[in-house]
Amino acid sequence: MPKVFLSPSTQEWNQYATSGNEELYMNLLADRIEPYLRSSGITFVRNDPARNVQGAIQDSNSSYYDVHLALHSNAAPESLAGKLRGIDIYFAPRSQDSERLANIIANNLKSIYPLPDKVRAVPTYNLGEVLRTKAVAVLCELGYHDNFADEAWIKNNLENIARNIVRSLCDYFGIPFVQPGAVRWGTVVTDGSGLNIRSYPSLSGTIIGSVPNGATVMINGETEGWYVVGYNGVTGYSSSEYIII
């Protein structure tokens, strides 16, 4: 199953137009992203807020991740302070996967941002979190926090932005987006054989693990007769027919 390095901003010195700062609100956004990742079967590790961007790059590169997702908000140059609006999703120009992910995120955000023509995917030639990570990476600048209208949009739409971004990740990975609910526990009941955990909610999905009969599994979500389960460090899909809650 996909694994994401979730990297909200650590830039507490970037003050918002009225109150708060970039680190605060991007971490609040990451808090809301986490349940959607779990319910959709996407495992993740979050950056250490005590480390700077170099630390985030090092930590991301220390293990394997399918995507490095950096969350930021923008600020205009001093001469244009408070006058700019828009969302930029930065990608690595030499990575087709990075560009594809950036375009998916940008296109989906157009449906919730009030100025869709100002949402774009942009190549970067200097952002380390995009260019120096081993994983496919994008950096999301989710509006201008020195602009009153963009600041208000970010603060009032954290849940919508979180849902939209995880839906984009699901589109990129080719897996169903699953709305989060309460985490539950279930017991596997079969004819005695193990219950397969698959990479996709279908009998054609690759088997990536197995749960013994009678074992307890964590259920993070449900989609069309399949549970998103976690067992023994493996996250994937198992048929709900053989799990009793």
pLDDT band at 19 (very low <50, low <70, confident <90, very high): very high
Considering only residues 116 and 182, tell me which one the structure prediction assigns the higher pLDDT: 116
pLDDT at 10: 96
Distance CA 21, CA 131 (A): 25
Residue 169's contacts (CB-CB under 8 Å, 6 or more residues apart) are 2, 4, 37, 40, 42, 67, 69, 101
CATH code, residues 184-244: 2.30.30.40
CATH topology of domain 3-173: Aminopeptidase (3.40.630)
> Could you tell me if 145 and 22 are in contact, meaning their C-beta atoms sit under 8 angstroms apart?
yes
pLDDT band at 135 (very low <50, low <70, confident <90, very high): very high
pLDDT at 188: 97
Both tokens of 132, joined, read: 């120096």
pLDDT at 34: 98
Q: Please, where in the chain does CATH 2.30.30.40 lie? A: 184-244
> Could you tell me if 53 and 12 are in contact, meaning their C-beta atoms sit under 8 angstroms apart?
no
Residues of the chain with pLDDT > 90, as a percent, come to 98
pLDDT at 158: 98
pLDDT at 121: 98
Report yes or no on whether pTM surpasses 0.85.
yes
Distance of CA 107 to the CA centre of its chain: 16
Distance CA 216, CA 102 (A): 38
pLDDT at 8: 98
Each as own residue / partner, the long-range contacts of residues 131-135 (CB below 8 Å, 24 or more positions apart, any chain) are 131/92, 132/57, 132/61, 133/5, 133/57, 133/60, 133/61, 133/68, 134/60, 134/61, 134/64, 134/65, 135/5, 135/60, 135/64, 135/65, 135/66, 135/67, 135/68
Q: Please, where in the chain does CATH 3.40.630.40 lie? A: 3-173
